[in-house]
Amino acid sequence: MNNRIKKTVALLLTMVLVIGLFQMDTMEIYADNEIVICIDPGHGGENLGATYNGFQEKNLTLQIANVMTEYLSQFEGVKVIRTRDSDTDLSLEQRAQIAKDNNAFFLISLHLNASETHHLFGGEVWTSAFGDLYAWAHSFAEVELQELAALGIYPKHVKTRMSNQAVDEYYGILRHAKNRDIPAVIIEHCYMDEIRDEQFYTSTEAIIALGQADATAVAKFFGLKSTSLGIDYSGYQRNVYEAPATPVYQDKTAPEVRQIALNAYDPASRVANIHISAKDSESGILFFRYSVDGGINWSPLYPWTAEEGDTEIPVIASSNGDVVFKIYNGFDGGGQTNHIRLW
Protein backbone atom coordinates (compact mmCIF):
# COMPACT_ATOMS: atom_id res chain seq x y z
CA MET A 1 0.00 0.00 0.00
CA ASN A 2 1.50 3.37 -0.94
CA ASN A 3 2.36 5.96 1.70
CA ARG A 4 -0.36 8.41 0.57
CA ILE A 5 -3.11 5.90 1.34
CA LYS A 6 -1.54 4.85 4.66
CA LYS A 7 -1.27 8.45 5.83
CA THR A 8 -4.86 9.14 4.80
CA VAL A 9 -6.13 6.05 6.66
CA ALA A 10 -4.32 7.21 9.79
CA LEU A 11 -5.86 10.66 9.52
CA LEU A 12 -9.36 9.25 9.09
CA LEU A 13 -8.98 7.00 12.13
CA THR A 14 -7.92 10.06 14.11
CA MET A 15 -11.11 11.79 12.95
CA VAL A 16 -13.19 8.98 14.42
CA LEU A 17 -11.50 9.36 17.81
CA VAL A 18 -12.12 13.08 18.00
CA ILE A 19 -15.65 13.05 16.57
CA GLY A 20 -17.97 14.80 19.00
CA LEU A 21 -15.20 17.07 20.27
CA PHE A 22 -15.02 19.16 17.14
CA GLN A 23 -15.93 18.99 13.46
CA MET A 24 -13.21 18.59 10.84
CA ASP A 25 -13.65 19.44 7.18
CA THR A 26 -12.66 16.16 5.51
CA MET A 27 -11.47 18.06 2.45
CA GLU A 28 -8.57 19.33 4.56
CA ILE A 29 -7.13 15.83 4.39
CA TYR A 30 -6.81 16.09 0.63
CA ALA A 31 -5.93 19.80 0.41
CA ASP A 32 -2.46 19.11 -0.98
CA ASN A 33 -3.59 16.44 -3.44
CA GLU A 34 -6.41 16.67 -5.94
CA ILE A 35 -8.46 13.49 -5.71
CA VAL A 36 -8.25 11.52 -8.93
CA ILE A 37 -11.18 9.17 -9.51
CA CYS A 38 -10.97 6.64 -12.33
CA ILE A 39 -14.36 5.59 -13.71
CA ASP A 40 -14.36 2.30 -15.58
CA PRO A 41 -17.45 1.64 -17.74
CA GLY A 42 -17.50 -2.17 -17.79
CA HIS A 43 -17.26 -4.21 -21.01
CA GLY A 44 -17.13 -2.55 -24.46
CA GLY A 45 -16.48 -3.46 -28.08
CA GLU A 46 -17.17 -7.15 -28.71
CA ASN A 47 -17.47 -7.66 -24.96
CA LEU A 48 -21.20 -6.95 -24.67
CA GLY A 49 -21.78 -7.90 -21.06
CA ALA A 50 -25.33 -8.86 -20.08
CA THR A 51 -27.97 -8.41 -22.81
CA TYR A 52 -31.66 -8.29 -21.93
CA ASN A 53 -34.81 -6.43 -23.02
CA GLY A 54 -32.97 -4.98 -26.03
CA PHE A 55 -30.29 -3.39 -23.81
CA GLN A 56 -26.58 -4.20 -23.75
CA GLU A 57 -24.61 -3.78 -20.57
CA LYS A 58 -21.62 -2.24 -22.37
CA ASN A 59 -23.80 0.65 -23.58
CA LEU A 60 -25.54 1.16 -20.24
CA THR A 61 -22.27 1.34 -18.30
CA LEU A 62 -20.95 3.96 -20.72
CA GLN A 63 -24.14 6.01 -20.36
CA ILE A 64 -23.97 5.79 -16.56
CA ALA A 65 -20.31 6.79 -16.68
CA ASN A 66 -21.14 9.84 -18.80
CA VAL A 67 -23.68 11.06 -16.26
CA MET A 68 -21.38 10.26 -13.34
CA THR A 69 -18.47 12.10 -14.94
CA GLU A 70 -20.51 15.22 -15.70
CA TYR A 71 -22.04 15.39 -12.23
CA LEU A 72 -18.92 14.55 -10.22
CA SER A 73 -16.81 17.02 -12.20
CA GLN A 74 -18.91 19.84 -10.78
CA PHE A 75 -17.40 19.24 -7.33
CA GLU A 76 -14.22 21.01 -6.25
CA GLY A 77 -11.01 19.15 -5.48
CA VAL A 78 -11.67 16.17 -7.73
CA LYS A 79 -10.37 15.13 -11.14
CA VAL A 80 -12.24 12.48 -13.11
CA ILE A 81 -10.53 10.18 -15.60
CA ARG A 82 -12.02 7.31 -17.60
CA THR A 83 -10.80 3.96 -18.86
CA ARG A 84 -12.95 4.38 -21.97
CA ASP A 85 -15.08 7.09 -23.57
CA SER A 86 -16.35 5.06 -26.52
CA ASP A 87 -17.42 1.56 -27.52
CA THR A 88 -13.99 -0.03 -27.20
CA ASP A 89 -12.82 -3.10 -25.33
CA LEU A 90 -9.90 -3.10 -22.92
CA SER A 91 -8.35 -5.86 -20.90
CA LEU A 92 -8.87 -5.71 -17.14
CA GLU A 93 -5.15 -5.13 -16.69
CA GLN A 94 -5.24 -2.21 -19.13
CA ARG A 95 -8.07 -0.62 -17.17
CA ALA A 96 -6.14 -0.87 -13.91
CA GLN A 97 -3.00 0.46 -15.58
CA ILE A 98 -4.86 3.54 -16.85
CA ALA A 99 -5.84 4.27 -13.26
CA LYS A 100 -2.24 3.78 -12.14
CA ASP A 101 -0.77 5.96 -14.90
CA ASN A 102 -3.07 8.80 -13.84
CA ASN A 103 -2.35 8.45 -10.10
CA ALA A 104 -5.96 7.52 -9.40
CA PHE A 105 -6.97 7.26 -5.77
CA PHE A 106 -10.00 5.10 -6.54
CA LEU A 107 -10.98 2.85 -9.44
CA ILE A 108 -14.74 2.44 -9.78
CA SER A 109 -15.89 -0.20 -12.25
CA LEU A 110 -19.51 0.18 -13.36
CA HIS A 111 -21.67 -2.83 -14.18
CA LEU A 112 -25.19 -4.23 -14.27
CA ASN A 113 -25.97 -7.73 -13.12
CA ALA A 114 -27.57 -10.98 -14.27
CA SER A 115 -27.83 -14.40 -12.64
CA GLU A 116 -27.94 -17.97 -13.90
CA THR A 117 -31.32 -18.51 -12.24
CA HIS A 118 -32.73 -15.14 -13.38
CA HIS A 119 -34.53 -14.55 -10.09
CA LEU A 120 -32.13 -12.32 -8.12
CA PHE A 121 -32.65 -8.58 -7.78
CA GLY A 122 -30.94 -5.63 -6.09
CA GLY A 123 -27.60 -3.85 -6.09
CA GLU A 124 -24.29 -5.03 -4.65
CA VAL A 125 -20.71 -3.77 -4.44
CA TRP A 126 -17.63 -6.00 -4.64
CA THR A 127 -14.39 -4.94 -2.98
CA SER A 128 -10.88 -6.18 -2.47
CA ALA A 129 -10.46 -8.74 0.30
CA PHE A 130 -7.08 -7.37 1.43
CA GLY A 131 -5.94 -4.90 4.08
CA ASP A 132 -6.28 -1.16 3.55
CA LEU A 133 -7.81 -1.77 0.14
CA TYR A 134 -10.68 -3.62 1.80
CA ALA A 135 -11.08 -1.04 4.59
CA TRP A 136 -11.37 1.90 2.19
CA ALA A 137 -13.52 0.15 -0.39
CA HIS A 138 -15.89 -1.31 2.20
CA SER A 139 -16.50 2.14 3.64
CA PHE A 140 -17.23 3.58 0.19
CA ALA A 141 -19.43 0.63 -0.77
CA GLU A 142 -21.73 1.28 2.17
CA VAL A 143 -22.25 4.86 1.00
CA GLU A 144 -22.88 3.65 -2.55
CA LEU A 145 -25.49 1.11 -1.44
CA GLN A 146 -27.27 3.80 0.56
CA GLU A 147 -27.52 5.94 -2.58
CA LEU A 148 -28.85 3.03 -4.63
CA ALA A 149 -31.34 2.17 -1.88
CA ALA A 150 -32.62 5.75 -2.03
CA LEU A 151 -33.60 5.00 -5.65
CA GLY A 152 -35.52 1.93 -4.53
CA ILE A 153 -32.85 -0.66 -5.37
CA TYR A 154 -32.68 -3.46 -2.81
CA PRO A 155 -29.23 -3.37 -1.11
CA LYS A 156 -27.49 -6.75 -1.35
CA HIS A 157 -24.53 -5.87 0.88
CA VAL A 158 -20.81 -5.32 0.40
CA LYS A 159 -19.02 -8.44 -0.82
CA THR A 160 -15.60 -9.96 -1.40
CA ARG A 161 -14.70 -13.03 -3.39
CA MET A 162 -11.47 -14.96 -3.44
CA SER A 163 -10.32 -17.27 -6.22
CA ASN A 164 -11.10 -20.97 -6.09
CA GLN A 165 -7.57 -21.51 -4.82
CA ALA A 166 -8.27 -18.90 -2.09
CA VAL A 167 -4.99 -17.07 -2.75
CA ASP A 168 -6.05 -13.92 -4.63
CA GLU A 169 -8.99 -11.82 -5.78
CA TYR A 170 -11.53 -13.66 -7.93
CA TYR A 171 -12.41 -10.60 -10.01
CA GLY A 172 -9.65 -9.53 -12.37
CA ILE A 173 -10.23 -5.77 -12.13
CA LEU A 174 -9.87 -5.94 -8.33
CA ARG A 175 -6.82 -8.17 -8.60
CA HIS A 176 -5.02 -5.87 -11.06
CA ALA A 177 -5.95 -2.80 -9.00
CA LYS A 178 -4.60 -4.51 -5.86
CA ASN A 179 -1.33 -5.27 -7.62
CA ARG A 180 -1.03 -1.52 -8.28
CA ASP A 181 -2.02 -0.43 -4.75
CA ILE A 182 -5.25 1.19 -5.94
CA PRO A 183 -8.49 0.86 -3.94
CA ALA A 184 -11.22 -0.38 -6.28
CA VAL A 185 -14.84 -1.45 -6.31
CA ILE A 186 -17.20 -3.13 -8.73
CA ILE A 187 -20.69 -1.60 -8.61
CA GLU A 188 -23.40 -4.00 -9.79
CA HIS A 189 -26.25 -1.50 -9.91
CA CYS A 190 -29.18 -3.88 -10.47
CA TYR A 191 -30.18 -7.01 -12.36
CA MET A 192 -31.04 -6.78 -16.05
CA ASP A 193 -32.80 -10.17 -16.08
CA GLU A 194 -35.32 -9.67 -13.25
CA ILE A 195 -38.58 -7.79 -13.78
CA ARG A 196 -38.43 -6.00 -10.43
CA ASP A 197 -35.21 -4.25 -11.46
CA GLU A 198 -36.19 -3.28 -15.01
CA GLN A 199 -37.34 0.17 -13.95
CA PHE A 200 -33.84 1.04 -12.77
CA TYR A 201 -32.11 0.88 -16.17
CA THR A 202 -34.66 0.95 -19.00
CA SER A 203 -35.22 4.72 -19.29
CA THR A 204 -33.08 7.82 -19.71
CA GLU A 205 -34.30 9.07 -16.34
CA ALA A 206 -33.20 5.84 -14.68
CA ILE A 207 -29.70 6.05 -16.17
CA ILE A 208 -29.35 9.65 -15.01
CA ALA A 209 -30.41 8.60 -11.53
CA LEU A 210 -27.80 5.82 -11.41
CA GLY A 211 -24.97 8.05 -12.61
CA GLN A 212 -25.82 10.82 -10.18
CA ALA A 213 -26.14 8.30 -7.33
CA ASP A 214 -22.63 7.00 -8.08
CA ALA A 215 -21.23 10.54 -8.21
CA THR A 216 -23.01 11.49 -4.99
CA ALA A 217 -21.51 8.48 -3.21
CA VAL A 218 -18.01 9.62 -4.22
CA ALA A 219 -18.73 13.22 -3.18
CA LYS A 220 -20.06 12.13 0.22
CA PHE A 221 -17.23 9.67 0.80
CA PHE A 222 -14.56 12.33 0.24
CA GLY A 223 -16.51 15.19 1.82
CA LEU A 224 -16.61 17.26 -1.38
CA LYS A 225 -18.28 20.61 -2.06
CA SER A 226 -19.85 22.01 -5.22
CA THR A 227 -20.43 25.75 -5.47
CA SER A 228 -22.27 25.39 -8.77
CA LEU A 229 -24.63 22.75 -7.39
CA GLY A 230 -24.96 24.36 -3.97
CA ILE A 231 -23.96 21.11 -2.24
CA ASP A 232 -21.59 20.70 0.70
CA TYR A 233 -20.75 17.21 1.97
CA SER A 234 -17.76 18.33 4.06
CA GLY A 235 -19.56 17.33 7.25
CA TYR A 236 -20.63 13.92 5.99
CA GLN A 237 -19.75 11.12 8.41
CA ARG A 238 -19.15 7.62 7.16
CA ASN A 239 -18.00 4.40 8.77
CA VAL A 240 -14.25 3.88 8.98
CA TYR A 241 -12.80 0.37 9.15
CA GLU A 242 -9.45 -1.00 10.24
CA ALA A 243 -7.49 -3.03 7.73
CA PRO A 244 -8.03 -6.77 8.35
CA ALA A 245 -4.91 -8.80 9.10
CA THR A 246 -6.02 -11.61 6.79
CA PRO A 247 -8.13 -11.65 3.61
CA VAL A 248 -11.89 -11.34 4.06
CA TYR A 249 -13.35 -14.48 2.51
CA GLN A 250 -16.80 -14.90 1.03
CA ASP A 251 -19.48 -16.75 2.98
CA LYS A 252 -19.89 -20.22 1.46
CA THR A 253 -22.13 -21.69 4.14
CA ALA A 254 -25.91 -21.76 4.30
CA PRO A 255 -27.68 -19.72 7.02
CA GLU A 256 -27.31 -21.54 10.33
CA VAL A 257 -30.90 -20.85 11.44
CA ARG A 258 -33.68 -21.92 9.01
CA GLN A 259 -36.88 -22.76 10.79
CA ILE A 260 -40.60 -22.38 10.04
CA ALA A 261 -43.72 -23.00 12.11
CA LEU A 262 -47.41 -22.89 11.28
CA ASN A 263 -49.33 -20.08 12.95
CA ALA A 264 -52.65 -20.72 11.19
CA TYR A 265 -54.17 -22.08 8.01
CA ASP A 266 -57.56 -21.01 6.65
CA PRO A 267 -58.96 -23.72 4.30
CA ALA A 268 -61.66 -21.34 3.03
CA SER A 269 -59.24 -18.67 1.76
CA ARG A 270 -56.38 -21.17 1.30
CA VAL A 271 -53.95 -18.82 3.03
CA ALA A 272 -51.31 -20.04 5.49
CA ASN A 273 -49.68 -17.81 8.08
CA ILE A 274 -46.12 -18.98 8.65
CA HIS A 275 -43.57 -17.91 11.27
CA ILE A 276 -39.99 -17.82 9.94
CA SER A 277 -36.78 -17.81 11.97
CA ALA A 278 -33.61 -17.15 9.96
CA LYS A 279 -30.09 -16.09 10.84
CA ASP A 280 -26.67 -15.99 9.19
CA SER A 281 -23.98 -14.62 11.48
CA GLU A 282 -21.44 -14.22 8.66
CA SER A 283 -23.32 -12.35 5.93
CA GLY A 284 -26.92 -11.83 7.06
CA ILE A 285 -30.14 -12.86 5.34
CA LEU A 286 -31.19 -11.34 2.01
CA PHE A 287 -34.07 -13.37 0.56
CA PHE A 288 -36.58 -16.10 1.12
CA ARG A 289 -38.96 -18.09 -1.09
CA TYR A 290 -41.45 -20.84 -0.44
CA SER A 291 -42.97 -23.96 -1.92
CA VAL A 292 -46.39 -25.47 -1.13
CA ASP A 293 -45.72 -28.77 -2.89
CA GLY A 294 -42.67 -29.98 -1.01
CA GLY A 295 -40.05 -28.13 -3.07
CA ILE A 296 -41.15 -28.98 -6.60
CA ASN A 297 -42.24 -25.45 -7.50
CA TRP A 298 -41.03 -22.26 -5.85
CA SER A 299 -42.37 -18.74 -5.42
CA PRO A 300 -40.38 -15.68 -6.51
CA LEU A 301 -37.80 -14.31 -4.09
CA TYR A 302 -38.88 -11.93 -1.35
CA PRO A 303 -36.59 -9.55 0.58
CA TRP A 304 -35.82 -10.45 4.20
CA THR A 305 -34.18 -8.08 6.67
CA ALA A 306 -35.08 -9.42 10.13
CA GLU A 307 -34.19 -12.55 12.11
CA GLU A 308 -37.78 -13.70 12.44
CA GLY A 309 -41.30 -12.74 11.47
CA ASP A 310 -44.65 -13.87 10.13
CA THR A 311 -45.70 -14.05 6.51
CA GLU A 312 -48.86 -15.13 4.71
CA ILE A 313 -48.61 -17.39 1.68
CA PRO A 314 -51.31 -18.48 -0.79
CA VAL A 315 -51.83 -22.22 -1.16
CA ILE A 316 -52.82 -23.16 -4.70
CA ALA A 317 -55.37 -25.88 -5.33
CA SER A 318 -52.91 -28.23 -7.01
CA SER A 319 -50.50 -28.24 -4.07
CA ASN A 320 -50.15 -31.14 -1.64
CA GLY A 321 -49.95 -28.94 1.45
CA ASP A 322 -46.26 -29.70 2.07
CA VAL A 323 -44.74 -26.29 2.89
CA VAL A 324 -41.00 -25.61 2.86
CA PHE A 325 -39.03 -22.37 2.65
CA LYS A 326 -35.60 -21.60 1.26
CA ILE A 327 -33.52 -18.93 3.01
CA TYR A 328 -30.67 -17.06 1.23
CA ASN A 329 -27.72 -15.31 2.88
CA GLY A 330 -25.74 -12.22 1.81
CA PHE A 331 -23.88 -14.21 -0.85
CA ASP A 332 -27.06 -15.73 -2.31
CA GLY A 333 -26.25 -19.05 -0.68
CA GLY A 334 -29.48 -20.87 0.12
CA GLY A 335 -30.65 -23.58 2.47
CA GLN A 336 -34.03 -25.19 3.00
CA THR A 337 -36.05 -25.08 6.21
CA ASN A 338 -37.94 -27.90 7.84
CA HIS A 339 -41.21 -29.00 6.21
CA ILE A 340 -44.66 -28.51 7.69
CA ARG A 341 -47.95 -30.11 6.59
CA LEU A 342 -51.13 -28.08 6.25
CA TRP A 343 -53.37 -31.15 6.07
The phi and psi torsions of 4 (rounded to 5 degrees) equal -60, -45
Residue 298: count other Cβ atoms within 10 Å of its Cβ.
15
pLDDT for the residue numbered 276:
98
pLDDT for the residue numbered 58:
98
SS3 per residue for the chain: CCHHHHHHHHHHHHHHHHCCCCCCCHHHHHCCCCEEEEEEECCECCECCCEECCEEHHHHHHHHHHHHHHHHCCCCCEEEEECCCCCCCCCHHHHHHHHHHCCCCEEEEEEEECCCCCCCCCEEEEECCCHHHHHHHHHHHHHHHHHHHHCCCCEEEEECCECCCCCCECCHHHHHHHCCCCCEEEEEEEECCCHHHHHHCCCHHHHHHHHHHHHHHHHHHCCCEECCCCEECCCCCCCCCCCCCCCCCCCCCCCCEEEEEEEEEECCCCEEEEEEEEECCCCCEEEEEEECECCCCCCCCEECCCCEEEEEEECCCCCCCEEEEEEEECCCCEEECCCEECC
pLDDT for the residue numbered 166:
83
The phi and psi torsions of 80 (rounded to 5 degrees) equal -105, 130
Rounded distance between C-alpha atoms, residue 137 and residue 190, angstroms: 19
pLDDT for the residue numbered 164:
84
Residue 172: count other Cβ atoms within 10 Å of its Cβ.
14
152: amino acid identity, one letter: G
Q: Which domains does the chain have, with CATH numbers?
A: 3-232 (3.40.630.40), 257-341 (2.60.40.10)
pLDDT for the residue numbered 105:
96
- pTM comes to 0.89
pLDDT in tens, the chain (343 residues): 444 444 443 434 333 322 332 222 333 334 346 999 999 999 999 999 999 999 999 999 999 999 999 999 999 999 999 999 999 999 999 999 999 999 999 999 999 999 999 999 999 999 999 999 999 999 999 999 999 999 999 999 999 999 988 899 999 999 999 999 999 999 999 999 999 999 999 999 999 999 999 999 999 999 999 999 999 999 999 999 999 999 999 999 999 999 999 999 999 999 999 999 999 999 999 999 999 999 999 999 999 988 999 999 999 999 999 999 999 999 999 999 999 999 9
* Closest residue by Cα to residue 38 from 65, 7, 76, 8: 65
